[in-house]
Structure 1
């Protein structure tokens, strides 16, 4: 970006040539897992409002509109197009393109001319095309720095063109961040000495009613990886009754897409106070809009988006106009209807203009199981009728410049830091994509929840919300940017801990190893649940959806809860005593429940020999470094919380001199202190081997576990006493760096020569197959730290799963620990290796839980990867 007339794009933004594909992107490890391919771009849309992704080839292709559900496909009629006419003394040169490099796969819109991608542009110029020759064959570039992204178009049009896309998301903004809106600000500059006419066209398909599950009571099955899964059948292209209206109001022009149905009478599309039947999930409105005073406005409110597209394209390609057809006839069965809005304007030599377009939607209801409905957060500001898309769009046109400035103001202090490399700044912001596209829920406010309830899926393959073990690292972003939302999640866990669900189910892990499964209780009383439920049941109320393992037996969840509660109190000013008081009963209940697994009464709950913690395919036996360390840190946190709540020096509500807390904290302090003293002694004596902490006390393994001292990291983070001697912590962390990162990647190079893609695919379900051969053509680059290897970096078993995977979020958490311990150089080496794998191999905006040396991945759109904000927090002192 060199032209002073075009918008400034931060140097750290992720970029890719428009339409440029990937030679060998990462592919999914298990065939049953989701692999949509590498064409992912930054999502647009507010948190919990539904979002839409647009890839670097220009297509809108990710549709997370129905809360918690995933649709990935391109609807070609949803697109920007551009017409250009350059005045010439002899004749006018005209051209028009739909701004996507991929024509419709189904043969529709055959009349449209599609934008040339990099390879196509090279071919056209080699053949001596009539348009001007340039030195570069590059037709432009896509940039992304969440929540902003840009398309910069080059060497096709003579105008200099940029489209900036964003939604109004910035830190501690609990209103606009929830809006269902996308802003597209076009900047057009004429660098020539001749005037030119441009026309920007936005077309959209009426999608009202599409994004809702047609299977109201889907059957839950166990798939090949042992995870529960249910069918989702959206009502795509079911458009009967859909109709479109042209609107001009208060300087704004555009189209509202609506639907008529027997229970929804025809109403004024711009009035939100009319009576109507209860809005159903997926029902409401969509709208597109722009300013009327920038140029000539053209429109078409009823064209066929699955036909040839000629009724739109012929006029637009000729002179940038549309027929100005206004037709509100509802769609018949099997019929589709679209809208089109074009704005034509002239640029004098050297002139620059900015033109905003807005896409808004008002689909106010999220439904889980049939009849379990929640209104979305944005309805607190726009109402719940489902007739407010135009109002939302108008709001965007009025305020988008202010929103733009707010985003820049939030991001700029980080962008200005010279001590942070650009790749880190890029990943720091772009990993926030999951706050919007992680199946995100944000409900309307209630008396109990003043800003609503919030939740993000663990991932798309493990489709349940806010897995507590995963968010131990993955929630740093939410805590640092939207702390009240993070507290709302923990309050939901606090309410769930004392609840009981006596239903039983099959445990999927035994299915994967070919053994009969015991029937396990869904949720034991006082056990900390693993998750807050799934989109097909009742999120926040029916917890512990996952059935891969019996989470009632896990040894880390109770500790994870206590640590996150104290973390949120400490890192938000240490003044929210009411939050601590709300969570205290659950803290005492879960610690008591977890202590029952201390079968030898030595102060530390033992692991059972089954995978019973976040590494749920990895058997730990007896006292383990991972769970034992978290337990010790959690006891320290519980003692600190109890002392605060028992001091009587704070007040809740209108009480004088403090409000009594139940159960009384003083009753627990001696017991917690006894447990802590026992545990610390046992932990050090049992697990320390002089260099690092053993995996556990029962297996005899010499494996170096990367996350062995997570509890120590949390203790120091929260200003608690060290759980181990500090020199031991330094030694262990240095050993992790050398064994799991340096030696592991060296071992790969020495023992795993690259295979061809076809032969590697045959063994993709193993991170390192028995012959130890690899796929990756980028074998000179490290892939990150393995979860657990021998000191020399070699695997215990080349066919191990979790130990040999590189978990993105665990690597970021480990890097935060390294920063905390003064190992910043090593932290950045580790972080850069993972970021490089994600953003250079087609995993952007779908960051997985795990990658392997075979260039495969598992579990895309994963929550834990937002742990990169923990690194930034460690660097800045939170």
Structure 2
């Protein structure tokens, strides 16, 4: 027992009263897109290990256990419960304000909702830590801190499939209090794999390809629960009887565990029915905080489901203890899972990164949990050491620090893949989905802004992604495909091949095929025609070299042939020979619903910056490859292209105030991201692609028209409006959306140009829309002024780390 009060929670968390709903949360723009509603909390679990989510009402409801797939469902039997007695009266509650709506667990009492003036406590989140602070229900002061061992530059523990729940219980009264904390969990072994081994791909009403995911939810035949313990730890392992078949996706073990402390009693109940009333565990728990210590390890004979519980007083999995007046006790509970295999197409299996440290057998959930119980204090200290320098900065507002860390949630719950190490990939291969609706990995145009977080915090993972693109560029795939965009505009679709050799792929593939091997999964547009992808690749190669110490020349050498191929390929779209590839009039860039014609400010600027980057890369390589005439000739070619292109860009696009959308449409729209190429040139210490006074004029015009004059700056900057803030076409989609990640990229450019106050005002508008309106931990690509969103859990908003990079 200690006399410490509850742990200090940083002042800049995202916070919400436990159980408080939203009056008018954002709703989805297209009915076919995913809209789980606003009950999302910070995810728990390591990168590529699968993750779970627990909302601010206390329910466990997000199950991203199968790599790349999404299941959102409250599982009431997976829950913490607390019993409290002061000697004269007692009470017990399961700690969710959301009681089951299917008639199960009727014997349980659920955490009460009290009048708003009183409040029952608050939920706080600052990724990778979150807290429940319970108030006005129990006499004891109770806090549960939740986290996984994720911190910058850590390529081991960050991959672990584990969640720590650190309970802190304090008695502020003048009489003893007896407490019991129970963690119940359901045996989910075998659930998380697609029952449809060759799911049919169809085109959704928004033109994007989608396939059906049908988990084996509730299929528990052969599952069993087993109590395990040693001298210091106590737990329950959830397993499944193994046959002669090799391990499959979804197979393995789960484990809940806690520490045996001298002052606590540990109770257990190894088998009860979560589909029933729950009376077998609740009757004794609500009476005195105990469980009947019932043991039954019999495997399930049919498809009934299994839950297991342990109880003990304090804070943890299931523990009972008594606090004297003024006393405090800290108790860890751990949830771990060992499901080593991720399957893409049927039979295409990869082992997860954490198996490099715990083996590939699938029976190591207890070992993982045991490690967590030994190391959790060190892990928490490492997280604090990483975050504290940023939290201590007085030049950054609290809302910015909050969003900076919380937007990293996507590295856990974005369908993340992280494979075991191999000879060619010594820390494994890594990938995050573009989003849950556009379920393909590492879309290159999106990660131009969205990869800043990975670059700054896990640079080796970032470089592994870029190497995967470098390997993919020479590859071709002649599979013919229909282009979905034409369906949405009710026009006949051309047939396009999947991947042209030499073209930079849009993405690294989807979870139902073979990620890294079969690229260009999306068929919404013909990505072989895109005019930004090749430039995006070159810029990210040089950025990743420059901003990770500028000493990994091998990385540049690995990517050089791909750079040559993609720039040569992109130059073939310079049909008029002026030096700059033209946009075709189809949506052929990241704004893939927006037609650009001729030389465009967006793609043309990226082309100029990419040529500068390619020249800089060739200079570096030439210092190590003196006399390489082919390399010198390539550099000379890029210099000639750049010399020709640079004056053309200004000549065709500068209108005296800003850069026109393009050279041929005649549009007067102010495009928010018109000078992305200039931002990148400055970021990489390359020569400006446009005169600095023109860049500043354009940027001020963007800020005024797209932000201040668009709905009075309430939502952020629209992608493209006329100089007076009005729409060119009121029915347009992309121009009138506020793209969260584009806004953060624009804000970084504002900081870079000396407009930090404007940058923070713009960023704050977007952050408040997301975190005040039920979009937390599912930040979408786009929001609209009518309160709708599109494409939740999106990759690009991690661009907020680009703002921090430029400020720093």
TM-score (norm 1): 0.90
Q: Assess if the C-alpha contact under 8 Å between 1:195 and 1:347 holds in 2.
A: yes
Paired residues of 2:177 and 2:324 also in contact (CA < 8 A): yes
Q: Distance in 1 between matches of 2:644 and 2:675?
A: 18
Aligned-pair CA distance for 1:4:
6.4
Aligned to 1:743: 709
Once residues 604 and 611 of structure 2 are traced to their aligned partners in structure 1, the CA distance between those partners, rounded to angstroms, is: 11
Q: Find runs of 4+ consecutive structure 1 residues off by over 6 angstroms.
A: none
- Separation of aligned partners in 2, 1:47 and 1:250: 31
Deviation readout 1:663-712 (Å, 9 max, x if unpaired)? 94212011100100111010011100110000000100000000000000
Q: Which residue of 2 aligns with 1:640?
A: 616
Deviation string, structure 1 residues 34-84 (Cα, Å, up to 9, x no partner): 000000000000000000000000000000000000000011000000000
Tell me the secondary structure at the aligned position of residue 286 of structure 1: strand
Aligned pairs for 1:291-370 (under 5 A) are 291-293=259-261, 294-342=263-311, 343-370=319-346
Of the three residues 110, 115, 130, the one matched with 2:111 is: 115
Residues 215-234 of structure 1 aligned to structure 2 (within 5 Å)? 215-234=196-215
Query: In 2, Cα distance between the equivalents of 1:148 and 1:222?
Result: 38
- In 2: Cα distance, 1:623 partner to 1:575 partner: 35
Q: In the TM superposition, what are the counterparts of 1:466-485 in structure 2 within 5 Å?
A: 466-485=442-461
Is contact 2:48-2:412 (8 Å) kept?
A: yes
Residue in structure 2 matched with residue 840 of structure 1 by the alignment? 772
Q: Could you tell me how far apart the structure 2 residues matched to 1:495 and 1:6 are?
A: 51
Mapped partners of 2:98, 2:630: distance in 1: 65
**Contact 1:476–1:870 under 8 Å retained in 2:** yes
2:347 is aligned to 371
Give the drift of 1:341: 1.1
CA RMSD of aligned residues (A): 1.1
Rounded Cα–Cα distance in structure 2 between residues aligned with 1:422 and 1:560: 32
Instruction: Tell me the alpha carbon deviations over residues 769-810 of structure 1, each in whole angstroms, 9 at most, x when there is no partner.
Output: xxxxxxxxxxxx700000000000000111110000000000
Query: In structure 2, what is the equivalent of residue 128 of structure 1?
Result: none
SS in 2 for 1:122: coil
Residue 605 (str. 1) matches residue 601 (str. 2): no
Structure 1 residues 569-601: Cα deviation after superposition (integer angstroms, max 9, x where no partner) = 000110000000000000000000000000011
Confirm or deny: 8 A CA contact 2:4 2:328 kept in the other structure.
no
Alignment of 1:139-218 (within 5 A): 139-218=120-199
Q: Contact (CA 8 Å) 2:67, 2:416: kept in 1 or not?
A: yes
Q: Distance in 1 between matches of 2:198 and 2:328?
A: 55
Name 1:33's counterpart in structure 2: 33
Whether the 8 Å CA contact 1:848–1:860 is kept in 2: the answer is yes
The equivalent of 1:239 in structure 2 is 220
Q: CA deviation at 1:105?
A: 1.2
Q: C-alpha distance in 1, partners of 2:342/2:418? A: 10
Deviation at 1:516, TM superposition (A): 1.1
Query: Unaligned regions of 5+ residues in structure 2, if any?
Result: 312-318
> Any conservation in 2 of the 1:168–1:177 contact (CA below 8 Å)?
yes
Q: Secondary structure at the match of 1:492?
A: helix
Q: Secondary structure at the match of 1:647?
A: helix
- The yes-or-no answer on 1:99 pairing with 2:95 is yes
Distance 1:61 1:866 in 2: 23
Q: CA deviation at 1:623?
A: 0.2
* Matched position secondary structure for 2:474: coil
Q: How does 1:423-572 map to 2 (within 5 A)?
A: 423-572=399-548
Q: Which residue of 1 aligns with 2:555?
A: 579
In structure 2, the residue matched to 1:249 is 230
**Aligned positions of 1:259-270 closer than 5 A:** 259-263=240-244
- Give the Cα–Cα distance (whole angstroms) in 2 for the partners of residues 248 and 482 of structure 1: 36
For 1:774, the equivalent position in structure 2 comes to: none
Q: Using the TM superposition, give the Cα deviation of residue 245 of structure 1 relative to its aligned residue in structure 2, in angstroms.
A: 0.2
Aligned partners of 1:469, 1:853: CA distance in 2, in Å? 25
Check the 8 A contact 1:257/1:285 in 2, yes or no: yes
Match of residue 681, structure 2, among 690, 715, 720: 715
Partner SS, residue 641 of structure 1: helix
Partner of 1:592: 568
Question: Secondary structure at the residue paired with 2:656?
Answer: coil
Determine if the alignment matches structure 1 residue 684 to structure 2 residue 650: yes
Helix, strand or coil for the counterpart of 1:287?
strand
CA contact (8 A) 2:545 2:551 kept: yes
Pair 1:15 & 2:11 matched: no
- Verify the 8 A CA contact 1:646 1:664 in the aligned structure 2: no
Q: Establish whether residue 284 from structure 1 lines up as the match of residue 216 from structure 2.
A: no
Alpha-carbon distance in 1 for matches of 2:466, 2:242: 41
Q: Kindly indicate whether the alpha-carbon contact (under 8 Å) linking 1:629 and 1:723 is maintained by their aligned counterparts in 2.
A: yes
TM-score by length of 2: 0.98
Q: How far apart, in 1, do the equivalents of 2:229 and 2:450 lie?
A: 45
Question: Are 1:414 and 2:390 an aligned pair?
Answer: yes
- In structure 1, the partner of 2:315 is none
1:653 matched residue in structure 2:
none
Residues in 1 aligned to 2:631 and 2:706: alpha-carbon distance in whole angstroms? 42
- The 1-side partners of 2:702 and 2:417 are apart by 37
Does structure 2 retain, via aligned residues, the 8 Å contact 1:643–1:665?
A: no
Q: In the alignment, is the contact (CA less than 8 A) between 1:617 and 1:801 conserved in 2?
A: yes
Matching of residues 384-423 of structure 1 within 5 Å:
384-423=360-399
* Number of residue-to-residue matches in the alignment: 798
Equivalence for 1:767: none
Contact 1:198–1:346 (CA under 8 A) maintained in structure 2: yes
- 2:788 corresponds, among 828, 837, 856, to 856
Q: Distance in 1 between matches of 2:309 and 2:709?
A: 58
Superposed CA deviations along residues 810-838 of structure 1, whole A, max 9, x for unmatched, are: 00000000000000010001000000000
**Whole-Å separation in 2 of the counterparts to 1:30 and 1:4:** 51
Between the aligned partners of 1:414 and 1:482, the Cα distance in structure 2 is 17
Deviation digits for residues 395-451 of structure 1, max 9, x if unmatched? 000000000000000000000000100000000000000000000000000000000
Paired with 2:85 and 2:185, the residues of 1 have a C-alpha distance of 24
Contact 1:741 1:830 in 2 (8 A): yes
